[in-house]
Structure 1
Amino acid sequence: MTDEFASLNHFNGARDTPMPQDRLRAIRHGAEALREQLLDDPPVHFARSFDLLRIPYPAWFAFTGVYSQQLLKPHMVHLLARMAVVQYDDFEGRLRTLLFTPADFEAGNETPYFKRLAEKTPKFLHKAIAPVYNTVPQALASCGISPAQVDYITYDHLHTQDLRRWLGTPGLLPNARLLVHRQELASVRGLLPVQAEWYCPHGLDGIAAERIVPFDGSIQLGRGLALVHTPGHTEGNHSLVYRTGDGLRVSSENGVSADSWAPLSSRHDGIRRYAKATGAEVILNGNTQEGSTDQYLSMVLERTLAGTSSSHGFSNVVPSAECSPHWLFPGAPTSHLWGETSFGTPLHA
């Protein structure tokens, strides 16, 4: 572990006990303690999310369990993929800029699952089905941050990601380094076929070793900003956690809507009925079930850590790819739409 970051030990051993309910209690306890610790920190300087593009996505992946019980009608939903720009002080007081999920969606189209989907769809429909709203350079320019000012990029996991445009030689982010959980990095280098469906081939090829910073467990990057290991969707999945003026925000793709972390509060009858019938506290995004039990625990961790919003009553977990209404795929189960969010003012080095 680099000295730039601090290890967070709140979840050490929490998943080691044989009984899942014991793991759940340990996860809750750790999340409550970490929440209090991060709430004592000052807010980050700036955090803003940007719509990048829409992705057609099967409903039975997006709301695992609910669809299989025939409680959801849409065959497909739309996920709106976003990038977050976060500026914060590291532990030595230096201003840092981090990009969370900066997608190179043109290169990402080589992901096997989406490549086959595109081949089955008439080309004249591609822009309608997967419209683009922003690119990463456009998002940075809109808040006056130069590509050279970006210190780190990170992803909750590396599904569909090709990093060569950002970190290659030459790359558009000349000073940025990738923060990635060590297990996620190991997975990418030796995928099984069921995993490879969702990873972009050669996405890390040719990137210099010094541009990649692996980490273990959960880490705090600076005042009010952490990356928390939340395995399940992938073994190396992690969630972004940052302090704002009114509490904490957590972001990941373990779920795809506000309903995913609060199904009993859902305005969608099928989701609410499923949660009541099964006792499920969360609804998994299950396109790859590398560890469904771990993913369930991780989503409970996320919602405990984030807390509940006093304004809309849902958990302060913001999906990094959010299920959102679209005319092509009506009936998306979305009780609260986060949309683009913004906090603070960007700072320029």
Structure 2
Amino acid sequence: MSTGHAEETLADIGARSVPEFEGVHDVWPRGERLSAVKEAAHAYKERFKSQGTVRAVRSVDIAAAPYPVAFAFNNAVSVPALPMIAMINRMVVVRYDDWDGRPRTLVFEPTVPDGSAEAPFYNHLQQLMRRIPGGTRLAEAFLLKYYNEPGDALTKLGLTPEDIDFCTFDHLHVQDPRMILGSSEAIPGESRPRGPLFGSARMLVHSRELATLESLHPMQWAWYVEDGLRGVDRSSFVTFDGDVELGPGVTLLWTPGHTDGNHSLLLNTPDGVWVSSENGIALDNWQPELSKIPGVRGYHRRYGREICPNANTLEDSLDQYDSMIKEKILADPCRRDPRWLQILPSTELAPWKRFWPVMPTFTHGGVSYGELSGGGAR
């Protein structure tokens, strides 16, 4: 286990590792690794559900941004006239008790749109649209939409920044930690350093994900904010390896593949187990056999694959496949329609008719349980 600073451990934040998954991602050969992942996921699900549920959870939409169709479904979609769709970033707030019985509040995916725009991929896309007559207006009309800034979303939920104990992202693509944790240096183009968005809350991050942002490979560079750590107090991070249980009913699953340090949010609720992840941008990615998006069901049949990955960066496509199977096993069926799993994409394909026929076949529309209240324990 790594630590955000020398004295901090998982035990200090009331968390603990998940023994069922220890070593499964090292199994060789790869076919046996997938079998090991499946076996561990079935074993862990039984124990996870027996430990209890979270106190409350709410999801809030943040913003919609453009995304290439080719990335969204690993080149499976056969609609050449539609190069772009829009994805909606979704923030999830979780109220839970840690393993020491302390009430905690976690914010998952508090995306700041201004930070995402700094990533080279989106910066280049903005420049490209400016060169096209009317391109910026076209993008704003058809691909962009702003719902809530993370701070405003908290206010709508009846919370203040001081109520938040931890924040986390499934990975750090297009995220600028300076805009969440604050920085001792001003971001270029701004007049003064930013303060923290969530008071003294710390960011939970997989050690491999933080290391990636510290030393980017050229194949990773386009999707990360290269200077996102400049001036950030490193004690604001709590790093971990593997899978981590934060408390009864809430776990950060290590789901490598999309990035080395990717992790997904696992929640136990009165309606069963939910997974929030960006390994896919629609349930169609996890359940391609049910998809009505042209090409996705054919991808499933042609290659005999149980999933169709979100594939803007295939750092390890086999690991991402295994991770999505891990998520599918842990998620419970939806009570509204048991054919579909309770998987909530952290960034979801917008169900807008302008993108027909590339629209999600089924959507949950968010998640909401219990009553959020302030006063987390530090």
1:46 maps to what in 2?
Answer: 56
Q: In the alignment, is residue 212 of structure 1 matched against residue 220 of structure 2? A: no
2:169 maps to what in 1?
Answer: 155
Query: Residues 32 and 211 from structure 1, CA distance in 2 versus in 1: closer, same or farther, beyond 3 angstroms?
Result: same
Tell whether the 8 Å contact from 1:58 to 1:75 is kept in structure 2 after alignment.
yes
Task: List per-residue Cα deviations over 1:222-244 (Å, max 9, x = no partner).
Answer: 11110010000000000110111
Query: Residues 14 and 293 from structure 1, CA distance in 2 versus in 1: closer, same or farther, beyond 3 angstroms?
Result: same
The unaligned stretches of length 5 or more in structure 1 are none
The aligned amino acid for 1:8 is V
Q: In the alignment, is residue 225 of structure 1 matched against residue 233 of structure 2? A: no
Q: How far does residue 93 in structure 1 lie from its aligned partner after superposition?
A: 1.3
1:270 maps to what in 2?
Answer: 295
Task: List per-residue Cα deviations over 1:264-317 (Å, max 9, x = no partner).
Answer: 122335211221221110011000010000000000000101132242211211
Larger mean CA deviation between 270-279 and 182-191 belongs to 270-279
Q: How far does residue 73 in structure 1 lie from its aligned partner after superposition?
A: 6.0
1:325 maps to what in 2?
Answer: 351
Q: How far does residue 74 in structure 1 lie from its aligned partner after superposition?
A: 3.0
2:87 maps to what in 1?
Answer: 79
Q: In the alignment, is residue 93 of structure 1 matched against residue 89 of structure 2? A: no
The aligned amino acid for 1:263 is P
Task: List per-residue Cα deviations over 1:70-99 (Å, max 9, x = no partner).
Answer: 477632221111110111001111111101
Name the SS of the counterpart of 1:36 in structure 2. Answer: helix
2:192 maps to what in 1?
Answer: none
Q: How far does residue 211 in structure 1 lie from its aligned partner after superposition?
A: 0.6
Q: How far does residue 337 in structure 1 lie from its aligned partner after superposition?
A: 1.4
1:136 maps to what in 2?
Answer: 150
Give the alignment's TM-score, normalised by structure 1.
0.95
Counterparts of 1:327 and 1:185, CA distance in 2: 38
Q: How far does residue 30 in structure 1 lie from its aligned partner after superposition?
A: 0.7
Name the SS of the counterpart of 1:243 in structure 2. Answer: strand
Aligned residues: CA RMSD: 1.6
Q: How far does residue 154 in structure 1 lie from its aligned partner after superposition?
A: 0.4
Task: List per-residue Cα deviations over 1:50-89 (Å, max 9, x = no partner).
Answer: 111111111110001413xx47763222111111011100
Name the SS of the counterpart of 2:54 in structure 1. Answer: coil
1:295 maps to what in 2?
Answer: 320
1:193 maps to what in 2?
Answer: 218
Tell whether the 8 Å contact from 1:66 to 1:72 is kept in structure 2 after alignment.
no
Which of 328, 335, 340 is residue 361 of structure 2 equivalent to?
335
Name the SS of the counterpart of 2:348 in structure 1. Answer: strand
2:18 maps to what in 1?
Answer: 8
Give the alignment's TM-score, normalised by structure 2.
0.88
Q: How far does residue 115 in structure 1 lie from its aligned partner after superposition?
A: 0.7
The unaligned stretches of length 5 or more in structure 2 are 2-8, 130-134, 184-194
Tell whether the 8 Å contact from 2:353 to 2:359 is kept in structure 1 after alignment.
no
Question: Where in structure 2 are the equivalents of 1:274-285 lying within 5 Å?
Answer: 274-285=299-310
Counterparts of 1:341 and 1:251, CA distance in 2: 10
The aligned amino acid for 1:260 is N
Aligned residues: 347
Query: Residues 62 and 210 from structure 1, CA distance in 2 versus in 1: closer, same or farther, beyond 3 angstroms?
Result: same
> Identity of paired residues, percent?
38
Tell whether the 8 Å contact from 1:97 to 1:151 is kept in structure 2 after alignment.
yes
Counterparts of 1:72 and 1:83, CA distance in 2: 31
2:160 maps to what in 1?
Answer: 146
Q: How far does residue 11 in structure 1 lie from its aligned partner after superposition?
A: 1.8
1:171 maps to what in 2?
Answer: 196
2:275 maps to what in 1?
Answer: 250
Q: How far does residue 126 in structure 1 lie from its aligned partner after superposition?
A: 4.3
Tell whether the 8 Å contact from 1:248 to 1:316 is kept in structure 2 after alignment.
yes
Larger mean CA deviation between 242-251 and 124-133 belongs to 124-133
Tell whether the 8 Å contact from 1:72 to 1:270 is kept in structure 2 after alignment.
no
1:61 maps to what in 2?
Answer: 71
Query: Residues 138 and 104 from structure 1, CA distance in 2 versus in 1: closer, same or farther, beyond 3 angstroms?
Result: same
Q: How far does residue 33 in structure 1 lie from its aligned partner after superposition?
A: 1.2
2:5 maps to what in 1?
Answer: none
Name the SS of the counterpart of 1:283 in structure 2. Answer: coil
Task: List per-residue Cα deviations over 1:305-344 (Å, max 9, x = no partner).
Answer: 1132242211211110011222543322411112232111
Query: Residues 144 and 75 from structure 1, CA distance in 2 versus in 1: closer, same or farther, beyond 3 angstroms?
Result: same
Counterparts of 1:13 and 1:164, CA distance in 2: 33
